[in-house]
Structure 1
Amino acid sequence: MSHGSMIELPKREAQTGREDLRHILVVDDDPMVCMAIEIYLQRNNFRVSIAEGGEAGLRALAYEQFDLMIIDIFMPHMRGFESIRTFHERAPAIPLIAMSGYAFANLNSPEPDFLRMALELGAERCLRKPFTPHALLAAINDCLAEHRPDAEIASVTQLG
């Protein structure tokens, strides 16, 4: 799959040798953020699907299985925390990492804690943009380690 496009139907990756890798959905409206995360995660042995926006991300959830989601808090066509709430409701068993680069013009006013609010809506971890590749990988590994038993039980249940 090329960067910037989301497949419409599920694809089998049987002959690529990548089907056993953990599959991560990245949803962000900024193509540069998507590309940077995609390249870094692929180099660290993850399978990555990119959705440039909330609607594309929700379509991806309908067609593919994911081990983890990384979702931007503020995207066009999904107001504020609608994205975090919607993704968590659609796939409550999949750990979700919320990210935000929201900046405030008035530094003297109290800043709402958007990342804390995201945790209350179902995110497992939060990252403030810009974040380091190390911070991203640490958050992913923490989430996957915490959810591995649930994911394995879910896989066995789906097979039976």
Structure 2
Amino acid sequence: MPHGSILESPKREAQTGTGDLHHILVVDDDPMVCMAIEIYLQRNNFQVTIAEGGEAGLRALENGRFDLMMIDIFMPHMRGFESIRIFHERAPAIPLIAMSGYAFANLNSPAPDFLRMALELGAARCLRKPFTPDALLAAINNCLAEHRAAAARLG
């Protein structure tokens, strides 16, 4: 898939019998991470849109309706937390899960807590790569449940 492309997973309403699949936007520059997340989420009855990189993710956000976003913190062409801040500003009502696999060369030096910073910029949850399928599903389900509860309080 060319860099910056958007891949929409097939809708599975006919297979599952429900027309109410949660639609998740996954934005990451690593095609293997995208593919693993997409396969696992489809198997758990989510509709998935994959965007390889920040610019493709922003285009997908403008053209689609999503229930949740999963955004990698460190991607080419977007400096670190810029992606979290921009996605949260463009769609503040959509829960955002920040992902990071950032590793430090010097493990003895104190490292900034990138995931905590992402929470301060609007992320609802953070996942440190590599994460397990169970951790992924738990984070998504918790975000969706919190979002539903908040919407019920407001509405």
TM normalised by structure 1 equals 0.85
Q: Does 1:66 align with 2:80?
A: no
User: Retained in 2: the 8 A contact 1:28–1:34?
Assistant: yes
Report Cα offsets for 1:48-75 as digits up to 9, x if no partner: 0000000000000111100000000000
Query: Structure 1: any 5+ residue segments left out of the alignment?
Result: none
User: Retained in 2: the 8 A contact 1:23–1:47?
Assistant: yes
1:40-55 to structure 2, matched below 5 A, reads 40-55=40-55
How large is the Cα RMSD of the aligned pairs? 2.5
Counterpart in 1 of 2:97?
97
TM normalised by structure 2 equals 0.87
Q: Distance in 1 between matches of 2:35 and 2:130?
A: 14
- Given the superposition, is the C-alpha separation of residues 18 and 50 from structure 1 closer, same or farther in structure 2, using an over 3 Å criterion? farther
Identity of counterpart residues, as a percentage?
81
- Could you tell me how far 1:152 is from its partner in structure 2? 7.2
Q: Secondary structure at the match of 1:99?
A: strand
Q: Distance in 2 between matches of 1:152 and 1:116?
A: 27
User: Retained in 2: the 8 A contact 1:74–1:100?
Assistant: yes
Query: Structure 2: any 5+ residue segments left out of the alignment?
Result: none
Q: Distance in 1 between matches of 2:52 and 2:29?
A: 5
Letter in 1 for 2:43: R
Q: Secondary structure at the match of 1:118?
A: helix
The worse-fitting range, judged by mean Cα deviation, of 141-150 and 101-110 is: 141-150
Q: Distance in 2 between matches of 1:24 and 1:44?
A: 12
- Given the superposition, is the C-alpha separation of residues 59 and 131 from structure 1 closer, same or farther in structure 2, using an over 3 Å criterion? same
Q: Distance in 2 between matches of 1:138 and 1:86?
A: 25
Counterpart in 1 of 2:128?
128
Counterpart in 2 of 1:76?
76
- Given the superposition, is the C-alpha separation of residues 39 and 93 from structure 1 closer, same or farther in structure 2, using an over 3 Å criterion? same
Runs (4 or more) in structure 1 with deviation over 4 Å come to 13-19, 149-154
User: Retained in 1: the 8 A contact 2:54–2:75?
Assistant: yes
User: Retained in 2: the 8 A contact 1:18–1:47?
Assistant: no
- Given the superposition, is the C-alpha separation of residues 31 and 151 from structure 1 closer, same or farther in structure 2, using an over 3 Å criterion? farther
Q: Distance in 2 between matches of 1:14 and 1:44?
A: 11
Letter in 1 for 2:33: V
Counterpart in 1 of 2:116?
116
Q: Distance in 1 between matches of 2:131 and 2:114?
A: 16
- Could you tell me how far 1:102 is from its partner in structure 2? 0.2
Q: Secondary structure at the match of 2:6?
A: coil
Q: Does 1:86 align with 2:86?
A: yes
